[in-house]
Structure 1
Amino acid sequence: MEGGFFISDWLRNRNTVEFLGIWETVNNPTFNYGEFAIIKSQAGLNNYKISTTEWIEKTNAIGLKATAGRYGGTYAHLDIAFAFGMWISAEFKVYSQ
């Protein structure tokens, strides 16, 4: 199964966008708050969709990284990776606490 599908669904979630915004606010002095506010206002709507690459480009995010190519993929800071893991798996959430 393609992992990108799960990531794009996770990024559609309003709680995810709020979490990422807070994480970036704390850890990223060049975070683009204006773009974040626009994204946050749309998150959770049925027609809302954003890719990892779009999130990074629009907000100047540093917590997620997307690379293309043969060995490319989506990478995340440990805090963000754990949040994703807890969203995707109840078992992961139970064992990681």
Structure 2
Amino acid sequence: MLNVALFDKTAKEWREENKDLKGNMRDYASLNELLVLANMESFNAILIEKGLEQKERMIELRKLARNQMLSLEKLNKGNLKQLEDKKK
């Protein structure tokens, strides 16, 4: 479920699309994606404790993934700009 929420595909779909690659989709994920996945695992456990059904959890997990990926991308862009400014 977490793979679908973040990558929009199941592990099986990824394997079928990437037959030439060894390992699994998480082996090829970016650092940001792995960080978001770890956060999603914790958040999913909280949602399960609260009694949310899978469909509701998927909606919340997709929101979390999107928001965190956007935030991390902004941070990365800001850090790159700071590094470029320091070089000058």
TM-score range, shorter chain: under 0.3
Q: TM-score, normalised by structure 2?
A: 0.27
Q: TM-score, normalised by structure 1?
A: 0.26
Considering Cα pairs closer than 8 Å and 6+ residues apart, tell me whether 1 or 2 has the greater RCO.
Answer: 2
